[in-house]
Structure 1
Amino acid sequence: MQKRWTVKKYQPGPERSLQAALRIHPLLCRLLVQRGILTFDAAKRFFRPTLDDLIDPWLMKDMDAAISRLELAFFRREKIMVYGDYDVDGTTAVATVYTFLESIYSNIEFYLPHRYREGYGISQQGIDYAIENDFGLIVALDCGIKSVELIAYAKSKGIDFIICDHHLPDAVLPEAVAILNPKQHDCPYPYKELSGCGIGFKMIMALAQKRGMPMESVYRYLDLVATSIAADIVPITGENRVLAFYGIKKVNEDPIPAIRSLVQLSGLKEKLTTSNLVFVIAPRVNAAGRMDDARKAVNLFIEKDFDRAMEIAEVLHADNFDRKEIDMTITQEAVLLIQGDDTQLARKSTVLFQPHWHKGVVGIVASRLIDKYYYRPTIILTQSNDKVAGSARSVSGFNVYEAIHRCKDLLENYGGHFYAAGMTLKPENVKAFQERFEEVVSSTIDPELLIPEIVIDTEISFADITPAFFNILKQFEPLGPENLRPVFMARNVVDTGYSRIVKDEHIKLSVKQRSGPVFSGIGFFMADKFPIITSKRPFDIVFTVEENEWNGAVSLQLKVIDIRQ
């Protein structure tokens, strides 16, 4: 798949000022400036975050009301329901808030909607369960901000809501006793990008302060907060960086039984990073809700006994194995549908429907098609009872939600954001929706957006990549949105004669620039680029830098992203 390279622009002035203050390699200062870090003090907070940098939770709009309502529930001995979404952010949020509240109050339960029977967010079934079982207060986590009618229904039955949500509010807000969401236009809380679990964490932080409890009683949940931040793809900047930094520290030094068991089952040996949380922990947690019931994930997170946690983790591990087999099968079926249809091949979008496809993995399949096969806005649809339901994913720079919005007359329901969305429609409208979506995409998308983009932080020379340089580069962790792993480009690279293809698909490189140092590198699934390397002509490469340990020796190597001549 051809890719376009885009090198980030930079302003030399701030870079020079920062270099004078920090006395580190100018390219490291360039990376900092690109991330909005312009002063010595900002760099100190970036490299050396402290828990003292956490923001006062009482600055969040409605925090007083939320804590007062919780205290009233304690006083009245009301039944409290902790309600959350079925993904990683929702399940970690429920586990965090439920476990903390249970440590000070016993009349409490948690509830997660079933993905297939109830769907996303606050459900009628969930509220009816609360009514039938005499709950007086529901704390909604990672959901609720758009559930105006259902929360009004709950209020009419004498049930109050505290909403802890990080999704963008609509103009009309639910009638909750408190809404904790920094994205409300009149919320003075200075950091707007907390995860749903992060907002729940701020609430229990405020409650602990109100009750004079030590902060260690709250900080013990930082590994769950870090997992939510990594998995929910929120920016790892500002307060999220502090929470993620100390959460990952806890993951590595003193993990809860749930994370310890999932790591053990995955076979991971190295120190955990945000990447491990995203690609190792999160899929196993999400598999619970995708394949069956997300309550298993919460039960795992709240389990204190390691042996019992391992039993639950093994179930999630098996769910994830099943999920991988299913999504690989569906992906292969989808590719065959496209390859066997000239009309599909010529399109600028992909919309595929098969009634037997598993609803829990259609979003994953859409992403996989874009990443590996056909780089274009993609929607995968399947049968869901008497409706058709699906997930959409987009390519960089294209608003798939807006494109779906322009097909709304063909849909029963839809929602989402710039890069991902979901929808339901009647089976008889599938064909018309396929055609309309293709019309919208083909008439609005910039053709350049149909070529995958590699965003490069800066050009670099091999001579600059030293152990001292990499030692500071490692301190850019935790990595994530708005602080991605730095991507470099090197020009006029030549093969030393020792590069080779390994396992028929990958390239093991040995390269240098002029008379500079020789670097080894690995290019996964890049065997088709091998003729460029062996052409005896200079070529350019895009890569990240990583450590490679072999036989007890640690060296720097290049993880190659692309090669061109």
Structure 2
Amino acid sequence: MRWTLKSKPDKEKVDNLANALGVDKTIAAILCQRNIETFEGAKKYFRPSLDDIHDPFLMKDMDLAVQRIEKAISENENILIYGDYDVDGTTAVSLVSSYLKTIHSNIATYIPDRYAEGYGVSYLGIDFAEDNDFSLIIALDCGIKAIEKVAYAKEKNIDFIICDHHKPGDEIPNAVAVLNAKRVDCNYPFDELCGCGVGFKLIQALGSNRNQTIQDFVPYLDLVATAIAADIVPMNGENRVLAYHGLQVINSNPRNGIKAIIHQIKKKELTITDVVFVIAPRINAAGRMKHGNYAVELLTEMDFDTAVDFAAEIEIFNADRKDLDKKITNEALIQIIDNEEENKFSSVVFQENWHKGVIGIVASRLIEKYYRPTLVFTKSGDKLAASARSVKGFDVYEALHKCDEFIEQFGGHKYAAGLTLLPENYNNFKNKFEEVVSKTIDKTLLTPEIVVDSEIELSEITPKFFRIIQQMAPFGPQNMKPVFRSNCVRDNGYGKKVGADQTHLKLSVFQGDNKKTMNAIGFNLGDKMELVEDDFDIVYTLDENEWNGYKSIQLILKDLK
């Protein structure tokens, strides 16, 4: 791995902030690196306030969206809430539908089938709306490229409101309203909301007509925080405020569906990491293994006992998903080795019977082994469908754009995208993608990078220091958990490999003449055991370990050398 130490911020700014906050200079420097340079800035950062939520009407077309929904309510129209089958889509549908049901009775939800319809707005969904007399569709977490679909709906006298956060193309669909802060003609102050976040702005705007304040919408923030965590959007600006307060709702008074998941896993206090690795995969498992409707039913269920039954069923989906992604990952790795493709600049693999619901996870797993842009294809109807994942610093969306002569349809973000193509174009696409990546990727990006916030002595890690680091949560892109480097540490001689297959490393480290040891755990670092016989350097984050009711600070090792 590449260890990159962040550049040191201006010394005077660090000194001033350390004095203003009464913290040590390491903490002040980390804050300055995150553009928090004043007492006021630190106050907003450490105590995110709902007062800092932006006015939803600053978003282009919000007034048109509200007018159209109010007209539908006054004229007793049927409204269909349509969303994608992933966590962001299903939480967004659950959020908007549960709010609209408090002010209008004719509300239904629609999640496209991952296999029959694929990603985004579908003709099948529009036909369903026509057959069931829906005159307004609110599309969440999708629709920004659905130009033909919106036109098709218009022919059937069905209006569209689109709430999306994906990158728009050159043309915007001809909908009643298109809410997307990434539109070049939109001046909304924060353009990194997730799909559920855009849905939240919509209900916030609808509430302002009903004299509701932001406090009335706090109960919905458990869904928003879950979507922010799962969709890996930047954890700064408005997202940080929404996630911070949403996490409080998750831990104090979540909706029945989330409460039922927590009840299953029997965990007391959840962090944003728990939301990413515990709650989100279970919500996602419904759409991956069965149907996204299961997730919406779970998240909108009003009866706790029924929600527990749903959660138990989803737990089975999640276990099946884990088995499947392990099996497919192994098959994909064998394919790369058999085709002698270990030394390429990209991984592109295909097998027609791979489960479409887990190919995105498999792509991420392959990156853990071969750190490079990766696509995993499977058969979907008469086409091939793929999930694309990228490495830090490389824009896979742009790379796909350069291969569009072989692609039927694609969409997504810098680091994750989806596409379909005709089977006869697979080999040409695969060759072209490898060519594009090999010519455009900075070769240093093919080695995973650990960005280190600060070099510190182990003696600096006091309970107060750790408490302040914890208060920097929730962590995520643009606000990652601080990573520290300590040099010339030693193990006390009791270091060992642990875990069922001895893949992890457990150490007790000390530095210099200070013989006070700190416990350290390195997940998947078991093969570095031989490096701890002498002095070594470590990079790590800090965490709390609880054992037999006793809490202690623990180093989570990222790498050592």
Q: 1:354 aligns with which of 344, 351, 357?
A: 351
Separation in 2, partners of 1:85, 1:231: 14
User: What's the Cα RMSD here?
Assistant: 1.5
Separation in 2, partners of 1:177, 1:412: 27
**Cα gap change, 1:212 to 1:415, in 2 (>3 Å):** closer
**Equivalent residues in 2 for 1:536-551 (5 A)?**
537-551=534-548
SS where residue 314 of structure 2 aligns? helix
**Cα gap change, 1:245 to 1:417, in 2 (>3 Å):** closer
Separation in 1, partners of 2:317, 2:331: 21
What 5-or-longer segments of structure 1 have no aligned partner? none
Separation in 2, partners of 1:198, 1:464: 39
In structure 2, the partner of 1:518 is 517
In structure 2, the partner of 1:385 is 381
In structure 1, the partner of 2:50 is 51
Deviation at 1:359, TM superposition (A): 1.3
| Structure 1 segments (4+ residues) deviating >4 Å | none
**Cα gap change, 1:345 to 1:192, in 2 (>3 Å):** closer
In structure 1, the partner of 2:426 is 430
In structure 2, the partner of 1:307 is 305
**Equivalent residues in 2 for 1:79-98 (5 A)?**
79-98=78-97
Separation in 2, partners of 1:182, 1:346: 40
SS where residue 471 of structure 2 aligns? helix
Deviation at 1:193, TM superposition (A): 1.4
Higher mean C-alpha displacement, 295-304 vs 417-426: 417-426
Does 1:234 find its partner at 2:230?
A: no
Deviation at 1:237, TM superposition (A): 0.8
What 5-or-longer segments of structure 2 have no aligned partner? none
Deviation at 1:417, TM superposition (A): 2.9
Deviation at 1:214, TM superposition (A): 5.4
SS where residue 297 of structure 2 aligns? helix
**Equivalent residues in 2 for 1:138-153 (5 A)?**
138-153=137-152
The residue identity in structure 2 corresponding to 1:276 is D
In structure 2, the partner of 1:284 is 282
In structure 2, the partner of 1:472 is 468
Deviation at 1:411, TM superposition (A): 2.6
Does 1:331 find its partner at 2:329?
A: yes
Q: Could you report, residue by residue, the CA deviation over 1:177-200 in whole angstroms, capped at 9, with x for unpaired residues? A: 222222222323212211111111
In structure 2, the partner of 1:224 is 223
The residue identity in structure 2 corresponding to 1:364 is I
**Equivalent residues in 2 for 1:5-404 (5 A)?**
5-12=3-10, 13-213=12-212, 215-267=214-266, 269-341=267-339, 343-371=340-368, 373-404=369-400
**Cα gap change, 1:177 to 1:426, in 2 (>3 Å):** closer
In structure 2, the partner of 1:488 is 484
Higher mean C-alpha displacement, 377-386 vs 69-78: 377-386
The residue identity in structure 2 corresponding to 1:150 is K
SS where residue 518 of structure 1 aligns? strand
Cα pair 2:219 2:254 within 8 Å, conserved: no
**Cα gap change, 1:57 to 1:436, in 2 (>3 Å):** closer
SS where residue 78 of structure 1 aligns? coil
In structure 1, the partner of 2:452 is 456
Deviation at 1:262, TM superposition (A): 0.9
The residue identity in structure 1 corresponding to 2:535 is P
In structure 1, the partner of 2:503 is 505
Deviation at 1:253, TM superposition (A): 0.6
Separation in 2, partners of 1:327, 1:246: 33
Cα pair 2:81 2:138 within 8 Å, conserved: yes
In structure 1, the partner of 2:406 is 410
Deviation at 1:17, TM superposition (A): 2.4
**Cα gap change, 1:145 to 1:441, in 2 (>3 Å):** closer
Deviation at 1:501, TM superposition (A): 2.1
The residue identity in structure 2 corresponding to 1:279 is F
Deviation at 1:259, TM superposition (A): 0.7
Deviation at 1:83, TM superposition (A): 1.0
SS where residue 391 of structure 2 aligns? coil
Higher mean C-alpha displacement, 345-354 vs 96-105: 345-354
SS where residue 24 of structure 1 aligns? coil
Deviation at 1:400, TM superposition (A): 2.2
Cα pair 2:167 2:412 within 8 Å, conserved: no
Q: Could you report, residue by residue, the CA deviation over 1:489-527 in whole angstroms, capped at 9, with x for unpaired residues? A: 101111222222223222211111102332111112212
**Cα gap change, 1:425 to 1:66, in 2 (>3 Å):** closer
Separation in 1, partners of 2:26, 2:320: 45
**Cα gap change, 1:346 to 1:171, in 2 (>3 Å):** closer
Higher mean C-alpha displacement, 306-315 vs 60-69: 60-69
Separation in 1, partners of 2:197, 2:493: 51
SS where residue 174 of structure 1 aligns? coil
SS where residue 450 of structure 2 aligns? strand
Count of matched residue pairs: 557
SS where residue 135 of structure 1 aligns? coil
TM-score, L = length of structure 2: 0.96
In structure 2, the partner of 1:555 is 552
The residue identity in structure 2 corresponding to 1:559 is I
**Cα gap change, 1:145 to 1:425, in 2 (>3 Å):** closer
Separation in 1, partners of 2:173, 2:423: 32
Separation in 1, partners of 2:58, 2:386: 39
**Cα gap change, 1:436 to 1:185, in 2 (>3 Å):** closer
Deviation at 1:444, TM superposition (A): 2.8
Separation in 2, partners of 1:288, 1:271: 24
Deviation at 1:407, TM superposition (A): 2.6
Separation in 2, partners of 1:274, 1:354: 35
Separation in 1, partners of 2:249, 2:412: 33
Cα pair 2:167 2:413 within 8 Å, conserved: no
Q: Could you report, residue by residue, the CA deviation over 1:134-155 in whole angstroms, capped at 9, with x for unpaired residues? A: 1121111111221112112212
SS where residue 192 of structure 1 aligns? coil
Deviation at 1:216, TM superposition (A): 4.2
**Cα gap change, 1:430 to 1:240, in 2 (>3 Å):** same
Higher mean C-alpha displacement, 141-150 vs 399-408: 399-408
Higher mean C-alpha displacement, 165-174 vs 282-291: 165-174
Deviation at 1:35, TM superposition (A): 1.4
Cα pair 2:2 2:449 within 8 Å, conserved: yes
Separation in 2, partners of 1:448, 1:209: 50
Deviation at 1:44, TM superposition (A): 0.2
**Cα gap change, 1:500 to 1:358, in 2 (>3 Å):** same
**Cα gap change, 1:426 to 1:60, in 2 (>3 Å):** closer
